[in-house]
Structure 1
Amino acid sequence: MRGASLALELARLPVAQLCFERRLNPAAIPDVYANFTRPHPRYKVFGNKAMGAALIDLSRFDNPAAYLHSVRQHGRAGHQSRKAAARGYRLRRIDRNEHLDEIHAIHVSSPERQGRPMDDSYLMRRSSYPSEPHCECHGVFDAGGRLAAYCNIALYGNFVATDQLMGYKNNDGIMYLLLSSIICSLIEARQVNWFMYDTWFGARQGLRQFKQYVGFQPYRARYRLV
């Protein structure tokens, strides 16, 4: 019964047409496209990132204020972002290689995330991060100037996706401030139509609620590489 219910829910999802453009990084983009479209590890008939992609349709919003209005309710991204800003948190674009110790401190600040142990790859301090032309990183800093959260995003074509996202676990609203600020900047730039944060149905309930409160919805994604 659960399987039939999920199949019906998937069949009713709206469809998003997502385009990968290899010109943005010819060495990396085809590999990411192959990963997104390979068979799902559990449901082989579906593509890996095809059913239930967590997306925001940025083209729905005339301006950043319209997006913030859509998530204005108490507890959602608009409210939480204002709370974080009132506590002195600020966002700016960063080079991860200039914040290696701070990023490592974030990674090891909690032994688990979403009820799962931290992957070993996060527990080892990185000596450097690659500089890729289709990626950029944004960081949230507290009132004392300490990096509290960061998000590396990748431009693939007509959509941007989160590549790495993590912060200190607190109730200050920093993750909402981080993502909502990125979304506002994408809406203002008018260069892409979609923002993606992995998938919807593979996420645990807490993470799924977080995505919902930021404005993400599940879609059936159809990909092409040009």
Structure 2
Amino acid sequence: MVPEYDFWLLDLDGTLVDVEWSYTREVFDRVGDRLGRSFTDREADVLWNGLTGSRDRQLEAWGIDPTEFWTAFHDEEDPLVRAEQTYLHDDAAFVADLDAPVGLVTHCQEFLCEPVLENVGIGDWFDVRLCCTEETGWKPDPAPVERVMHDLEVASNGHRGVLAGDGANDVGAAWNAGLDAIHVERVGHERRGQCVLGDYRVQSFDELG
């Protein structure tokens, strides 16, 4: 059975949904043109899926200014095209049946998140949604997680909660906020280049059943 929790928090990209590779490749091609630097398939994969943790640190390691990169990246993302090329993982369906408050904590920006949720038809799965910004903080910072917990009215009252995500930042945010962590490994340990720990480690949410 799915573990019993008083509330659930979930990441979005790579956890509940993913996007066709052709879209990712095209975006990185256009961003590369703007920055005067091409991105290999591996580099695009690493950044898109956050395979090495902090994307900003990875950009800096490659000699790319994060602010310049993200400005170009967001300018080149078309919300409607992104939504059309996004698909829902079959094993994510359990979220619709959760009998508990459910929150979304995602790094996906609001101008992209809303069309994606509408396209895959899961907007009503969540009681509270938060798209991280510089103001809210970014996972693994617990601040955005704690903000959603506050809005769900489950903070600081003994409720037992969990955060499920596909990256180390999600696990870190869960633990930093005092929650259990479910890591769903969508890309595989070999492609990620490391093993991500969690209170639960699964390749599909079906394994929780």
Superposition TM-score, scaled by structure 1 size: 0.28
Q: Which has the higher contact order (CA 8 A, sep 6+)?
A: 1
Superposition TM-score, scaled by structure 2 size: 0.30
Larger radius of gyration: 1
**More strand per residue:** 1
